[in-house]
Structure 1
């Protein structure tokens, strides 16, 4: 039997039989919003790094939190859909501005790290998203408790490191956080599917969950790559 004579059905790769058609349409809306948020966040970062019209810091953090609260308080219906999309864009913009200080640090080391971090984050996000979509329904929802416990440990490590100021402890914190956020991509994707299957079609708010996952992974990966690049530069001197 010659296996090379069998044709590969690529269209079968995009069939998710365990997910209803209405939920698949919902996911398309979620990921469409996510793509727009990426462009808006990139614009926010550009405004900080290049034009300096807005400075990332406490103010941008408060603005993004304010937009997030405003979005959560705005009811989900057809009449408020445009307003909620505008609020989402504002949230993404100020989140992008908030990435500015980290990008300033990376640019002083090697600007190409930003591109590498974005490509790496995109690959990580896509791989874990596809894993969640192809996996058995609810199979990753059990991760919720473990991930929240992991966040609690990260918080304790960060508080502890404020006393010691250890670079090793900081790197361990970043790597651990990166692993935890990859787990959140699995968890949040399947949670969105379950919510949609149960009638929750708020694709704008569901986009916020995935957008925060992506941005957090990008920030941590970018800083880790920059720190490794900095260590290499020191070794060459």
Structure 2
């Protein structure tokens, strides 16, 4: 009975600590920064949904299979998004470009998803959950850290990406391929830290 009571107390402490991780952000982040982050992650959620729809279209619509225009269209949309000035008047236009770009990117990722379904369908759910956990953990780490702690990672991230690009072009060994995969994973984790703090600092300034 005492063991069960101690176990329940331990579980309640864990849930309380997890809750404090989120509630303490109200004291650390300014109100306008919180609203800006909500808008950013809301836009990210829309992009993920659009990419999911695009991937499903690839699986069920034969016309979109191996179509060059999807890649060409995504490049044009990315250029249009970068060239459109970031003003209040252009917000809806930029959001439309972003959602369309995500949808076409989802179509382009369709072949990889299709191959994963053929090998082991559970891989997709595992990858989704693992990505969500990693993204959430590194985002919370960036939000709770001192406001400019990870901004110095920009140069390291750029150097790492350049190394991966050069290695992918000139090296074809299995060892370097595996090394680049793990390095890309580390760089993506660092990007979450860097971009999260950059978003907050841009809003403050």
TM-score range, shorter chain: 0.7 to 0.9
Deviation of residue 106 (structure 1)? 1.8
* Match for residue 174 of structure 2 among 159, 164, 167: 167
Q: In 2, distance between residues paired with 1:197 and 1:75? A: 20
- Aligned residue number for residue 110 of structure 1: 120
Instruction: Mark the runs of 5 or more structure 1 residues left unpaired by the alignment.
Output: 199-237
**CA 1:115–1:12 in 2, change beyond 3 Å: closer, same or farther?**
closer
Matched, 1:20 2:30: yes
Q: In 2, distance between residues paired with 1:140 and 1:105? A: 37
Instruction: Mark the runs of 5 or more structure 2 residues left unpaired by the alignment.
Output: 1-8
Whether the aligned pair in 2 keeps the contact of 1:47 and 1:53 (CA below 8 Å) is no
Matched, 1:94 2:104: yes
The structure with the largest alpha-carbon Rg is: 2
- Aligned residue number for residue 203 of structure 2: 196
Equivalent pairs counted in the alignment come to 192
Q: CA RMSD in A?
A: 2.2
Q: In 2, distance between residues paired with 1:12 and 1:91? A: 34
Q: In 1, distance between residues paired with 2:137 and 2:66? A: 30
- Aligned residue number for residue 48 of structure 2: 38
Q: In 1, distance between residues paired with 2:135 and 2:66? A: 25
**CA 1:121–1:102 in 2, change beyond 3 Å: closer, same or farther?**
same
- Aligned residue number for residue 186 of structure 1: 193
Q: In 1, distance between residues paired with 2:113 and 2:57? A: 12
Q: In 2, distance between residues paired with 1:101 and 1:56? A: 9
Which structure ranks higher in relative contact order (CA pairs < 8 Å, sequence separation ≥ 6)? 1
When the two structures are superposed, what TM-score results if normalisation uses the length of structure 1? Answer: 0.74
When the two structures are superposed, what TM-score results if normalisation uses the length of structure 2? Answer: 0.85
